[in-house]
Amino acid sequence: MASIRKRGSSYLLVVSMGYDFDGKRRKPQQKTVHPPENLTPRAKEKWLEEEAALFERQCRNEPLKVDKAITLAAYTELWLREIAPAKLAKSTLARDKQDIDRFMPFLAGYKLTDLKPEHFRNLYAELRKQKNSVTGKPLSECTVEGVHACLCGILSDAMEGGFLSHNPAWRTYKYAGKKREQLKDQRGQLVPPGGQAGVSTVDNGGLVVRPNQDILASQVTVDQYRICQIQPCRALCHLVAQADWQAFQPGIF
């Protein structure tokens, strides 16, 4: 709660605003108030407490001023120190640090507000030319996609913190791998290359669903599916539309 300091016939309300991302104390907010006359000591105390609470709420709801000239390198350092440890698992954070090491040589010096979609597209193109330090082979498309996901996460947090009005990395990644060939069985159902009839594979931009039973069966439950990668509901809905199933168990979504 805001502190209340008596100054002659008036009172000074002071609200601490904490520390910024550089560890420096933010300037506290202050307001001078004058209680109404003829209040009893108890009534005056209650009035001051109400004014202090209202002033603190006002200060907390106002957006904090941020340095919009901050570079991606500086913000990423701030993100690793202040934000990521509180919201990411240790394994995820370790993987993100590897992705950060990959994009920093290309984007570190850019201000957040100067980043454009072409910067990210050029980054992904350059990463596809690099070799894996262990295998000597080009970086996998999965690795490039991971760098994109890491950047999107960092810049989304920058938006939330008021450093950006939009995420410049959004929709800048496009899968560059070979499209998987889609075959059909005698009933016109999709099957994986080298697969068997009655087992369907639907590839929707990297979202893959493989039923473990005949797709024409009338009894279908979620645990009979192996849903790969992310967004399983979207992938399963796409499979339903493609396969034109005749009957579903109610409530599987």
Q: Is residue 102 part of a domain?
A: yes
Which is nearest to 110 in space by CA: 63, 160, 175, 163?
163
Are 127 and 147 members of one domain? Answer: yes
Are 92 and 54 members of one domain? Answer: no
Q: Is residue 17 part of a domain?
A: yes
Are 76 and 54 members of one domain? Answer: no
Please list the pLDDT of the chain residue by residue as tens digits (253 residues). Answer: 688 999 888 999 999 877 666 667 778 889 999 998 888 999 999 999 989 988 888 887 766 667 778 999 999 999 999 899 989 999 999 999 999 999 999 999 999 999 999 999 999 999 999 998 888 999 999 999 999 999 999 999 998 888 888 999 999 999 886 655 555 555 566 555 444 444 434 444 444 444 443 333 333 333 333 333 334 444 444 444 444 433 444 444 3
Are 154 and 202 members of one domain? Answer: no
Angle at 194 between CA 132 and CA 208, to 5 degrees: 60
Measured distance CA(200)–CA(185) in Å, rounded: 9
Domain range enclosing 20: 3-61
Measured distance CA(77)–CA(102) in Å, rounded: 15
Q: Which two tokens stand for residue 204?
A: 């929707």
Are 56 and 77 members of one domain? Answer: no
| DSSP character at residue 9 | T
Q: Is residue 230 part of a domain?
A: yes
Measured distance CA(125)–CA(157) in Å, rounded: 25
Residue 197 in contact with residue 186, Cβ under 8 Å? yes
Neighbours of 242 (CB within 10 A): 16
Residue type, 29: Q
Measured distance CA(12)–CA(32) in Å, rounded: 5
pLDDT at 128: 95
Q: Is residue 251 part of a domain?
A: no
Measured distance CA(161)–CA(189) in Å, rounded: 48
Q: Is residue 253 part of a domain?
A: no
Are 79 and 155 members of one domain? Answer: yes
Q: Is residue 87 part of a domain?
A: yes
Q: How far is residue 12 CA from its own chain's centroid?
A: 41
CA distances from 125 to 139, 140, 171, 199, 205 (A): 11, 12, 15, 36, 19
241, containing H or E segment: helix 232-243
Are 122 and 102 members of one domain? Answer: yes
Q: For 23, what's the count of Cα atoms within 13 Å in the CB-facing half-sphere?
A: 3
pLDDT at 101: 96
Domain final position from 36, 61, 86: 61
Domain count across the chain: 3
Are 77 and 144 members of one domain? Answer: yes
pLDDT at 84: 93
Residue 104 in contact with residue 154, Cβ under 8 Å? no
Q: Is residue 252 part of a domain?
A: no
pLDDT at 60: 74
Domain final position from 160, 194, 210: 160
Q: Is residue 92 part of a domain?
A: yes
Domain final position from 61, 82, 110: 61
CA distances from 170 to 15, 155, 160, 166 (A): 37, 9, 15, 9
Measured distance CA(101)–CA(151) in Å, rounded: 11
Residues counted in the chain? 253
